[in-house]
Structure formats: structure tokens, C-alpha cells
Structure 1
Amino acid sequence: MSDDQTFHTLQAELIATALSALKKNTGVTAQAAALEETNNSSHRIDAAITLQTAGQSFDYQVKCKSVVDRKSTLAHIKAQLEAIASPGLLISSYLSAEMAEHCRSIALEFIDTVGNAYLSRPGLHVFVKGQTGSNAQFNTRAERGSNNPTAMRMIFTLLCQPEAVTASYREIAAQAGIALGTVGTNFLDLSKRGFLIYAGQKSARRLLEPSQLRSEWVINYPIILRPKLKARQFRAPDPDWWKALKPDGVDMAWGGEVAAQKLINDLKPATQTLYLAKEQMAAGVHDLVKQHRLRPDPEGPIQILEKFWQFAPLATSETPPGIAPPLLVYADLLASRDPRNAEVAKMIKEKYLNHAQN
């Protein structure tokens, strides 16, 4: 399956289901629903359809958006459709009564897959809201979206490597350490939730609202992804053991307080969080135990986890090598729930994350 075949297939399903519901509820039929890959005023048009009723025909240029639960998303779609010469139509999986009312208030015509609709043209007046039937296939795909470890690995890669958003699916899968077949599903979910412009050409992809996506990732990390990293805890007789640690070709990176100390130099690490490549975990832990006399302790301050990213963060004078990406360091500090880490986390966010370009 090509990079965008999955997306186009789901578009076709979404349009067909919505048009079927429209016909069932109102009698309005569709003559055609042709998927297109055209751009008008820099905005991609997903389809061209012709609605028919009472002997009249009404042409529309379509934007598809499976999940719409924010008025800001509707405003964004409205602006895109206003940029084209032809009348525009939003096709969505489901719009709540509140979202339907808002569409009418801003004159945004729409139909959804459960029969809700707002159509307002001379000779065509339809307004249906409050239909609550669900389309299980779209809802299931959405639930499999960002709330799973695989999606979180990919989102992390896109947030830390902004240029990766326009890379091939194969390159993204390699950098995120995920299966190739999951990339398209994850892109589709980001697009549904308003975090991605997901056009037909990979060069047109662009993340939207990256700061909000970062915040979501940080909240979800200790709940969804971190428990899957097979953490092992230890204690060392020398609390400063970490200062003498030399990677010597091992694929590892400091997170948490040690990384914060190296990035900000304003924290004495009481805990040490180390990310070690999965394929090197057994040998790496064995060497650490031997060299630094670590001993297993479920309450110990040393935590060794599987390194879940495959890309190499760019080392600069501000981000030395051997450090996890600042986004992960920030998430580690907040996940510790240690009040002394809160201020340092804030400093890392202000220095490394607030001005990140995506």
C-alpha cells in the first residue's frame, strides 16, 4: 500500500457513508463523488460532488475531516473553503448538536455519516442536528490513534525532528522504531484531530498546533508509553557513579535529572534515568552492574529503560551528545512529581521547547 492509499480509501468511505445518510434522512442524492488531488489557493480539495434534489443540481468542493470537536477547527475549515471559487462543503464522521449549530451560525455547510446536515443554497435548505448514531469503523480507528505506544513513538519523532513530517513512511517508521504499516494510520489520526495538514503529496504535510500536541504527549507519556519501556531499578554505593559513565559505543542517552543537569546545570541529580537501546539492554546492564556495582532495588534511584527512538538528536553547544531529546527530559521531570524538578522543567521548556519550529 502506498504512502497515501490508506488516507484516500478512508476518504472514499467517509464520503460514501455521509452521502448515504443524507439520502436516507432528506432524499437529497449525489450524482458523483470524485476524489481529487487539486489545490486551490494553497488548500487541497478532497473531492467534488454534485447534490441533486427537486430537479436541481448543486456542485460542491469538499473538505473531509473525520473528527471535529472544536469550533476552532470549524473556523479553519471555513477559511479554507472560502478561499476557493466554488461553494464548499465539510464532510465529517459526526458533528454534535453544538457543532452543527455553530456550522449554521458561521454559514459552513456540512453533512456527516449519521445524518446531520446543514445545506443552504437557493433551492436547497436542509438543517438536521441531534442524530446520534455512530459509525464504529471511524470511531475505532480514532481510538487506536494517539492513545497507544506506537503512535506516541511516532508523534515524539515528529515533534523532535520537524523535518520528518515530510519524509517517506519508511523513513518515519525507521526513525520512530515502529512498523511501516502503522505510519499511515497515525497520520490519519493526527489529521482527524486537527494536528496535521495531510495532503496527497508528502511535501505538503505540516504539523498544526505543535505546542498543544507536545502538551498532550507529555501528559500521556508516563501513562501510555513509559510503562512499556521495561524499566529496571537499581541502587549504587556511590551516588555520583553516573559522572564516570562513558558510553564507549553503547546506544544510550540520559533522561530525567541527569539530562536536566547537563542541559541547565541547575540541579543536583538525586535520581538517574538512563535510556538504553533494546538490543544492547542485556549486555549494557551487565556492564553497568559490573563497573559501578549496581544492585537491583525496586525503590532505587537508578532507572534503566528501553530507548524508544532511533533518530540521533542534533548535538549542539546547548544540547551535548548522550542526552535524550529535551521533550523527553521535560516529560521525565514532570512525571517524577518531585516539586524540586518543577522549576527546572519550566526552564527546559522555555529554553528548548517554546520556540521549537514544527
Structure 2
Amino acid sequence: MTNNIVNRVLEHLNAMIGNENIVVEKNAVFGFDGTIRLKGIEFLYTSKNIVTNSNFGSVQKELMELQERTEKPILFIVGSIYPTLAKELVENGFYYIDAAGNCDIRAEDVLLYVEGKKNANNGIANNHKMKGRLFQVAGLKIVFELLNNPGLIQQPYREIQQVTGVSLGSINIVMKELENSNFLVSSEKGKLLKNKKQLLDRWAIGYNETLKPKLLKNRMTFKNEEIRREWSQITLPTETHWSGEPGASIKSGYLLPEIFTIYSNRNVGELVKAGFRPKDDGEIFVYQKFWIDISVQKTVPPLLIYADLMGSGISRNIETAQIILENELQHIK
């Protein structure tokens, strides 16, 4: 699929600067898809099918890691990307062009800027979906618990069912898909998760795309500015926890929250008693708690804080997600 995208992008570049000013080579620095010269200026390029808020964090993180390997400019070729996300990539020093011809490439003698073109190939947006059960709702709940508690992989399926609330049939299917996807290995000593960091990133994308949108209950705001300033001192109802920016602030002390994420099994009335009030465009997003354990912790598990930060598509949150990964999720690396 990405080869088709690259070919379409080359057609757009040809129309803009002429074929004689374009040279493409497939042999590239490790991690890149190839090299492209535009008017003699060499770019290393990498390509993706689609970028949305759900996977923007992992895409930007990957680009930043690639940039550390080279001093040459990076051209990001993408089938489809939201304009706001493309703008953020550019602000962070990357050049891009999409399959519709939208681009921002301003390096030395190359000055190309196009916006507002719609992508006619709707198939691009449909092909990035993850297949099978592994990253659908049941699979996402199972993988969440397995990453949260690595020892759970050794337990009988009935134990996993009690923890996840997922049927035995779905657990059996997901386990087979984990093994077929090279995330699970079975031996005489039992089962063991492998490639856990890759599994975490795949899970975070799947969670933000598939499960999280189904969990949104309502939006709220703080009753007054004083409560907002002292948000960390609020006594939350039972089975109610901070995630995202406030969760990261509590865990790392690094982030000053602007958007507030809460997971809760409680009704609006109990949240109102705690210091919130309903508001359609409020800065507090309240999600249904989807895991079973009853915890008195003020925050959700670090795994979920990481996913919420990565799914936000905001650079400062992505940076904080890496701090959470380093400090709170060592068992996954």
C-alpha cells in the first residue's frame, strides 16, 4: 500500500517541479524507506498509510527517533493525515507530502506548499484498520490486563476471564492471535509475552481507535476556579481515577494539565458532589472504567496514562508519555 502512496506522491512532485528534478533511490539509511532528491537536495523518506489522532503519537515518536540517526532532512510521505497533525509535524521540523498533494517542503531551493486538497482515495483510510480480534474490544481488554500483570499469562483461562470479563472463547482466540503475531511464545515452562514494547504501542493505537470512543460518558468542568487550581486535592468517588494529563502530573510531576481525563464507574451525581459539574464542551472527559479490579489509587494504571497521552497527538503529552514509559513501565521495555 505504501508503494502506491509513494507513486502518487511522485506524480504530484513531478507536476510541481518536473521529473528531471526528482531522483528516487530505494537503498537508504536503516529505518527509512528510501532517499529522494528534489532539485539536488537529498531527503530521507519514510511512509505511512494514514495518520490520525490515535496513532499520531507513535508516528511522531518514530520520526524523532529516526531524526537522531541522521543530519539529513526527513520527508514524511503519508496517504492521509489530518491538517492539524500535519501542521504539528512541520512545527517539529519535519517535511511532509500526502497522497492528495498537500505538502509543506521548504528546504533551501525547494519551496513547496499546498493545502486544502481532499484525498479522493477513501480506501487509504480503510486499510489501516487492524484485523482479527486482537485489537478489537475483547482483545484490547485482554492485552491491557496481560501487559499490566505479566504473570497473568501463566494463569488458566478462567482466571483471565475473571479479571477481564471476556468470554473463554474470545480469550482462546486472542491467545492464538498473540502467538501468530509473534507476541506470545509457548514452551515447557509455560507462556511468555514477547516484543512487549511493540505490543504496547499497537495496543495504544487500537485502544484509542476502537475502545476508548465507546467509553466516553460525558464532559464536565470544575464547579469553580478554586477547585480547578486545587484539582489534585479533590477526593474522588470510589472506582474513579485520573488519567491522561492529570494522571501523568500525579505520577511524574512533569505536566500541568489542560485537558482532564477521568475513568469512573460512578454516576454524574457522585461526580458533582466531588466538585465537578456537567458542561458539553468542558475540559474534563469522563470515561467508563473498563477493567474490573477495585483500586483506591488516585490514578489509572500507568499503561492507560501512557495510551491516553500518546493518543492525544500533543507533543508535550508525547514527551511525558516517554517519561511514564521509562519510570513506570520498565517491565514492558
TMscore range, shorter length: 0.5 to 0.7
Letter in 1 for 2:207: Y
- Checking the alignment, whether the CA contact within 8 Å between 2:236 and 2:271 is kept in structure 1 is no
Letter in 2 for 1:246: T
Matches within 5 A, 1:103-252: 143-198=131-186, 204-236=190-222, 237-238=224-225, 239-240=228-229, 242-247=231-236, 250-252=238-240
Q: Relative to 1, partners in 2 of residues 1:293 and 1:344: Cα closer, same or farther, differing over 3 Å?
A: closer
Mapped to 1, the partners of 2:274 and 2:135 lie a distance apart of 39
Does residue 314 of structure 2 align to residue 338 of structure 1?
yes
- Checking the alignment, whether the CA contact within 8 Å between 2:245 and 2:259 is kept in structure 1 is yes
Letter in 1 for 2:205: I
% identity of equivalent residues: 29
Mapped to 2, the partners of 1:226 and 1:308 lie a distance apart of 9
Task: Give the match for residue 302 of structure 1.
Answer: 284
Letter in 1 for 2:331: A
The number of aligned residues is 201
Mapped to 2, the partners of 1:228 and 1:344 lie a distance apart of 25
Does residue 238 of structure 2 align to residue 255 of structure 1?
no
Q: Relative to 1, partners in 2 of residues 1:245 and 1:179: Cα closer, same or farther, differing over 3 Å?
A: farther
DSSP-derived class of the 2:299 partner: coil
Letter in 1 for 2:231: W
Task: Give structure 1 regions of 4+ aligned residues with deviation exceeding 6 angstroms.
Answer: none
Mapped to 2, the partners of 1:225 and 1:234 lie a distance apart of 21
Letter in 2 for 1:350: E
Q: CA-to-partner distance for each residue in 1:22-76, whole Å, 9 max, x for gaps?
A: xxxxxxxxxxxxxxxxxxxxxxxxxxxxxxxxxxxxxxxxxxxxxxxxxxxxxxx
Q: Relative to 1, partners in 2 of residues 1:290 and 1:246: Cα closer, same or farther, differing over 3 Å?
A: closer
Q: Relative to 1, partners in 2 of residues 1:241 and 1:304: Cα closer, same or farther, differing over 3 Å?
A: farther
Q: Relative to 1, partners in 2 of residues 1:290 and 1:167: Cα closer, same or farther, differing over 3 Å?
A: same
Q: CA RMSD, aligned part only?
A: 2.3
Q: Relative to 1, partners in 2 of residues 1:357 and 1:227: Cα closer, same or farther, differing over 3 Å?
A: closer
Indicate which of 261, 269, 283 corresponds to 1:273: 261
Which is bigger in relative contact order (C-alpha 8 A, separation at least 6)? 2
User: 1:144: how far off?
Assistant: 2.8
- Checking the alignment, whether the CA contact within 8 Å between 1:242 and 1:272 is kept in structure 2 is no
Does residue 327 of structure 2 align to residue 351 of structure 1?
yes
Q: CA-to-partner distance for each residue in 1:77-119, whole Å, 9 max, x for gaps?
A: xxxxxxxxxxxxxxxxxxxxxxxxxxxxxxxxxxxxxxxxxxx
Task: Give the match for residue 303 of structure 2.
Answer: 327
Mapped to 2, the partners of 1:291 and 1:210 lie a distance apart of 37
User: 1:231: how far off?
Assistant: 3.3
Mapped to 2, the partners of 1:243 and 1:329 lie a distance apart of 16
Q: CA-to-partner distance for each residue in 1:149-184, whole Å, 9 max, x for gaps?
A: 110010010001000001111111221232233111
Letter in 2 for 1:289: V
Letter in 2 for 1:335: G
Mapped to 1, the partners of 2:131 and 2:310 lie a distance apart of 25
Task: Give the match for residue 80 of structure 1.
Answer: none
User: 1:185: how far off?
Assistant: 0.9
Mapped to 2, the partners of 1:182 and 1:241 lie a distance apart of 43
Letter in 1 for 2:193: L
Letter in 2 for 1:240: R
Matches within 5 A, 1:3-82: none
Mapped to 2, the partners of 1:357 and 1:295 lie a distance apart of 37
User: 1:291: how far off?
Assistant: 4.1
Q: CA-to-partner distance for each residue in 1:254-305, whole Å, 9 max, x for gaps?
A: 110111011101111112111113xxx32xx2121244241222x2110111
- Checking the alignment, whether the CA contact within 8 Å between 2:133 and 2:139 is kept in structure 1 is yes
User: 1:241: how far off?
Assistant: 5.7
- Checking the alignment, whether the CA contact within 8 Å between 2:154 and 2:191 is kept in structure 1 is yes
Mapped to 2, the partners of 1:293 and 1:191 lie a distance apart of 44
Q: TM-score, normalised by structure 1?
A: 0.52
Moved more, 342-351 or 325-334: 342-351
Letter in 2 for 1:243: S
Task: Give the match for residue 48 of structure 2.
Answer: none
Specify every segment of 5 or more residues in structure 2 that has no aligned partner in the other structure, as ranges: 1-129
- Checking the alignment, whether the CA contact within 8 Å between 1:241 and 1:292 is kept in structure 2 is no
